[in-house]
Chain A
Amino acid sequence: MSIRITDSYLSSILVGDLNRSLTNLLEQQRMAGSLRRVNSYSDDPRAVSTIQRLNSLITQNNSYLDNISRSRTLVDSTDVALQDISEILADVRVLALRESSSLANTETMSNGATELDGLIGHLMQVLNTSVEGHYIFAGQRTDKAPFVLNGANVSYLGDSGLVHGRTGPNSTMPLNIPGDIFMGSQASSLGGQVILGPMLRDTTLLTDLNLGEGWVPGSITVTDGRGTVHTIDLTDAVTVGDVLDRIGTGTKGIITASISADGQGLVLTGTGPLAAGEIKGGTTAQSLGINTMAAGDTLRGDDIRALPDSGTLLSEIPSLAGNLPLGSMEVSWDGGVGYIDLSTAQTLGDVMDQFATVFPGMEIILRDGALQVVGVDSSPFTIKDMDASGTASALGISGEGTPVRLFGVMEDLQASLLAGDKEAVASAVSELLALGRTVTGLLVKTGARQNDLEWAERILLHRDERLQTNLSLERDVDIARVAADLSRAEASYQASLLVTSKLFENNLIQYLR
């Protein structure tokens, strides 16, 4: 059908074309001006959701980086304080060796007692170290100095609470060393012989692994029998089940990951030899207990069980498998003996409650995943099995309870020095050596935390880089392309203007005379 060309027809067509050209030009100018492909939400609704999510993740990531910086302050301060404590203990040990030698006499021992006074004061000062007004060895009661001189004795006013810091999307880590752990107790104590962590489950949180120390998010490598190295990204994994799934998916089913039959660690199964390892010096595989290799078809990981609590079912504790139901124990102390029947206990809480009921003066607590019995005072006590169930042994509280003391040793040493008792001074050396080893163990733990923080920071920086790249891809313009499009849009608009002006210039009326 032929179209009748009229002035208004021409006008509507040309104005419409001009509008389209101008709209396109403005759009290109807006993008070139802002360097953003997406300015308004409606520019690209799909991208907007992604951009907002990425912005949110970047903000969170920056928070975690700040967290790590603050966590490092605490862990570094703890490390310095522990080194000081280690040095003080070494000085005390040297003093004890010196004053128990044949060269020591009453005068040197008296001077030694004065020197020890100074060292105890220094030790108190270190143990009451505070960062930004918070006492680092006070457990969760960080607002008060945890160690106070109470007459001749030192009392601990803190608690055994761990302070956790968030170091990533799915990870927290304990940052403090509660003072009671290396102070020990003036009272006799016994325990810590058997870890009572519950069996791993698919739903176990990765942050609870390794007796609450958590894990280190990151990637690992898994090598199958053909020597193919599979990289498994576990950064966003939350539960043990997530790790198992991702290893299975990441190796395309060549290797199957599962929880070991005893529930203590992970097992990789496939045609051997098998190996699992770290990427770029990370510690993720190590924190999952599988930084190892196996010649056969099964790679068995280390014990990475979570921390037990009072609600943990006895039936969930692998080491108690052959000891259930529990039986009876005998507890004896100076001048007395008592018995307890734990056959009705279902949880660790039941064990602790029943013990506290039968022996009200004594305390039974969970510390570092094991049971510990603390006596009424420094008098020794004994716990032993009463039947074939081996209950006391299975619970890790069998044997003689003796005092574990830091200030007690110091106080005894001082008394011995003042009394000029060389034999007693010499006997303190072995206890001081044991205490030194404990502090060294804590230093190793703190060092591991420093490494974990460093690794977590590297992961977060890498993550930030990746998030920023993704954000830019979604949000920003391709400058070269926009420059070309803008130039084309300008040319198109100018052409439209020129054509419009030419078309309206002429009509027949102008030629009529």
Chain B
Amino acid sequence: MSGLNAIMDNSLSALLASQAGLATSGHNIANAHTPGFNRQDVIFGARRPEITAYGAIGRGVEVMGIRRIQDEFLLNNMRTQISRLHSYAAVDNALYDIEGILGSVDNDHLGDALNIFFDSWNDLAQPPFNESLKLNVVAKAKTLVADFRAIDESLGRLEADLELRIQAETENLNRLLQEIGELNRQVMAAETNGQPANDLRDQRDLKITMLSEIAEVSVLEREDGSKDIILAGRTMVARDRVTLFEGIHRPDGDGYTFAVVTEGSQQDVALSPGRLEGLLAAKDIHVRKVREHLDSVARQLITEVNELHTQGLASGGAGVMFFTGDSMHTIGINEALLNNENLVATGRTGTAADNDIALAIADLGRASLYGTDRKSVSESYRAVVTDVAGSLSSFEFMVENQQSVVASLSARMASVSGVSLDEEGANLVRYQNSYNAAAKVIATVQDMYDTLLNMI
């Protein structure tokens, strides 16, 4: 049969449970705005009752554990969406930079330079002829060449910048993998008593989420509480053992490509979506594509102008190549023309007013010169701009959509795992009342003891 001491024990357990509740609410309130923190909840359970002849008598309350509230499925889904968001954003940023290099609607510098160059031929072709306009043609060609070169240089800087960012992200990735390995070790050590190491787990989940920004990962939890991180089909973190990545330059034709490989074994990694994959795609696909297209525009300009100009006859001699080179990087003006603008040919006969070559070169810049099957140089350039604008617009749209998806999942995560100050305030009142009530029971038992002792 339960005595006064047993009642005291019951109340004492209630006092301790209330204290645990208050401490947990305090912890929740303290971390209400800590990134990656998941709210915690005390699990109370009734102690095993004392079985008597007339029934079971309760023996108070005990704290069964403290759990953190988290939806693992939601978290994994959010990480996947975060990986995609950062992949799109990396490409979007690079395309934004490319758009900046090409100019804007009111500052279409290469388009304007092309128009002005062809316009200078039109001016030269127009009778009454002005020989000094040959100098103007060469000057406008210089501007055009300088603009091609400036774009080439800017794209080169963008590629170098992207490579630096890829290096930095690779280092970032390695650092996070190492931190997760270390947290795995700490979690395993802390959970040997069977109780979850909630705060260490929160920190580890936060690191994994940060890792997802760089590359999409799969996470497998072991029974010992450690989490394996699988990236691009390779287990990069197994308990506290970590495999790292490195970025290397690999020779490719005249230049090189930049590749991410596993450290030591130097095996190529086909990266899953994420910032790192986005940066590599931006460099190897999007910037390269723009460069190839602009090279093609430069080549078309060089070929078509030279083809006509070499048919001409100038007062300074037979028609020479007007441009040199075969790409945006190598385009230049024939040195002979720079030294003697009289070598600019306007016609085939060399007579002063023969202007058929000049008219034909001026026509190269005209829209719809060749019908629908072949583009003029200006149209080819416009196609590049439209392609970049279309890609950027698509990526902006995808980033915006993906931000909404991530924001929505993040809000749902916050709804499930976030701290509600109202809720914690209510819990504070609840635990305080429990504590007061348990103390009152102890005071009552104390009175009963006093009554008994006064009887002696």
- The answer to whether A56 touches B354 (Cβ under 8 A) is no
| Interface-lining segment among B176-184, B190-198, B202-210, B408-416 | B408-416
- The answer to whether A59 touches B115 (Cβ under 8 A) is yes
| Interface-lining segment among A67-75, A278-286, A383-391, A440-448 | A67-75
| Binary contact readout B108-129 vs A (1 if CB under 8 angstroms, 0 otherwise) | 1001000110010011011111
| Interface-lining segment among A1-9, A120-128, A352-360 | A1-9
Asked if B220 lies at the interface with its beta carbon under 8 angstroms from chain A, I say no
Q: How far is the CB of B353 from chain A (nearest CB, A)?
A: 4
Contact of B108 among A5, A52, A71, A139 (CB under 8 A): A52
Asked if B428 lies at the interface with its beta carbon under 8 angstroms from chain A, I say yes
Complex CA–CA separation, A147 to B102 (angstroms): 54
Asked if B172 lies at the interface with its beta carbon under 8 angstroms from chain A, I say no
Given contacts A140-B351, A142-B129, contact A48 B386 (CB under 8 A): yes
Asked if A250 lies at the interface with its beta carbon under 8 angstroms from chain B, I say no
- The answer to whether B128 touches A7 (Cβ under 8 A) is no
Complex CA–CA separation, A49 to B380 (angstroms): 11
Q: How far is the CB of A376 from chain B (nearest CB, A)?
A: 26
- The answer to whether A509 touches B382 (Cβ under 8 A) is no
- The answer to whether A40 touches B349 (Cβ under 8 A) is no
| Interface-lining segment among A160-168, A224-232, A269-277, A425-433 | A160-168
| Binary contact readout B136-174 vs A (1 if CB under 8 angstroms, 0 otherwise) | 000000000000000000000000000000000000000
Contact of A36 among B105, B130, B429 (CB under 8 A): B105
Given contacts A134-B129, A159-B351, contact A63 B119 (CB under 8 A): yes
Contacts of A8 in B (CB 8 A): 32-33, 414, 418-419
Asked if A16 lies at the interface with its beta carbon under 8 angstroms from chain B, I say yes
| Binary contact readout A405-419 vs B (1 if CB under 8 angstroms, 0 otherwise) | 000000000000000
Complex CA–CA separation, A509 to B385 (angstroms): 57
Asked if B421 lies at the interface with its beta carbon under 8 angstroms from chain A, I say yes
Contacts of A172 in B (CB 8 A): 359
Q: How far is the CB of B366 from chain A (nearest CB, A)?
A: 6
Interface size on B, residues (CB 8 A): 66
Complex CA–CA separation, A53 to B368 (angstroms): 10
Q: How far is the CB of A156 from chain B (nearest CB, A)?
A: 14
- The answer to whether A51 touches B105 (Cβ under 8 A) is yes
- The answer to whether A166 touches B416 (Cβ under 8 A) is no
Q: How far is the CB of B123 from chain A (nearest CB, A)?
A: 7
- The answer to whether A140 touches B354 (Cβ under 8 A) is yes
| Binary contact readout A10-32 vs B (1 if CB under 8 angstroms, 0 otherwise) | 01110010000000000000000
Determine the residue in chain A with the shortest Cβ distance to B114.
Answer: A56
Contacts of B362 in A (CB 8 A): 166
Asked if A42 lies at the interface with its beta carbon under 8 angstroms from chain B, I say yes
Determine the residue in chain A with the shortest Cβ distance to B347.
Answer: A140
Contacts of B415 in A (CB 8 A): 3-6, 9
Asked if A60 lies at the interface with its beta carbon under 8 angstroms from chain B, I say yes
Complex CA–CA separation, A485 to B220 (angstroms): 50
Asked if A423 lies at the interface with its beta carbon under 8 angstroms from chain B, I say no
Q: How far is the CB of A283 from chain B (nearest CB, A)?
A: 22
Complex CA–CA separation, A70 to B129 (angstroms): 9
Contact of A161 among B353, B382, B386 (CB under 8 A): B353
Q: In B340-375, which residues have CB < 8 Å from any A CB?
A: 347, 349, 351-356, 359, 362, 365-367
Contacts of A505 in B (CB 8 A): none
| Binary contact readout A126-148 vs B (1 if CB under 8 angstroms, 0 otherwise) | 00000111101011111110000
Asked if B392 lies at the interface with its beta carbon under 8 angstroms from chain A, I say yes
Contacts of B33 in A (CB 8 A): 7-8
Complex CA–CA separation, A224 to B316 (angstroms): 58
Contact of A163 among B95, B355, B429 (CB under 8 A): B355
- The answer to whether A36 touches B106 (Cβ under 8 A) is yes
Contact of B127 among A11, A57, A70 (CB under 8 A): A70
- The answer to whether A143 touches B352 (Cβ under 8 A) is yes
Q: How far is the CB of A217 from chain B (nearest CB, A)?
A: 14
Contacts of A70 in B (CB 8 A): 126-128
Q: How far is the CB of B33 from chain A (nearest CB, A)?
A: 7
Contacts of B125 in A (CB 8 A): 165-166
Q: How far is the CB of A428 from chain B (nearest CB, A)?
A: 34
- The answer to whether A512 touches B418 (Cβ under 8 A) is no
- The answer to whether B418 touches A45 (Cβ under 8 A) is no
Asked if A175 lies at the interface with its beta carbon under 8 angstroms from chain B, I say yes
Given contacts A9-B415, A45-B393, contact A132 B130 (CB under 8 A): yes
Complex CA–CA separation, A7 to B367 (angstroms): 59
- The answer to whether B393 touches A42 (Cβ under 8 A) is yes
- The answer to whether B420 touches A7 (Cβ under 8 A) is yes
Complex CA–CA separation, A193 to B211 (angstroms): 90
Complex CA–CA separation, A475 to B127 (angstroms): 35
Given contacts A60-B366, A74-B128, A166-B359, contact A139 B105 (CB under 8 A): no
Complex CA–CA separation, A175 to B393 (angstroms): 49
Complex CA–CA separation, A507 to B383 (angstroms): 57
- The answer to whether A41 touches B102 (Cβ under 8 A) is yes
Asked if B302 lies at the interface with its beta carbon under 8 angstroms from chain A, I say no
Determine the residue in chain B with the shortest Cβ distance to A73.
Answer: B128
- The answer to whether B106 touches A5 (Cβ under 8 A) is no
- The answer to whether B389 touches A45 (Cβ under 8 A) is yes
Interface centre among B108, B392, B415, B428 (most CB of A within 10 A): B415
Complex CA–CA separation, A488 to B3 (angstroms): 74
Complex CA–CA separation, A4 to B411 (angstroms): 10
Given contacts A140-B353, A159-B351, A509-B421, contact A165 B127 (CB under 8 A): yes
- The answer to whether A55 touches B111 (Cβ under 8 A) is yes
Given contacts A134-B128, A507-B421, contact A56 B115 (CB under 8 A): yes
Q: How far is the CB of A13 from chain B (nearest CB, A)?
A: 6
- Chain B positions within 8 Å of A, measured between CB atoms, are 29, 32-33, 39, 95-96, 99, 102, 104-106, 108, 111, 115-116, 119, 122-123, 125-130, 347, 349, 351-356, 359, 362, 365-367, 378-379, 382-383, 385-386, 388-390, 392-393, 396, 407, 410-411, 414-416, 418-426, 428-429
Which 4 pairs from chain A and chain B are nearest by CB?
A: A6-B418, A508-B425, A41-B389, A45-B389
Q: Enumerate 19 A-B pairs (CB-CB under 8 Å) in ascending A order.
A: A4-B420, A7-B420, A39-B106, A41-B99, A42-B96, A49-B389, A53-B367, A55-B111, A57-B367, A60-B119, A60-B367, A132-B130, A134-B128, A142-B129, A142-B352, A161-B349, A163-B353, A507-B425, A508-B421
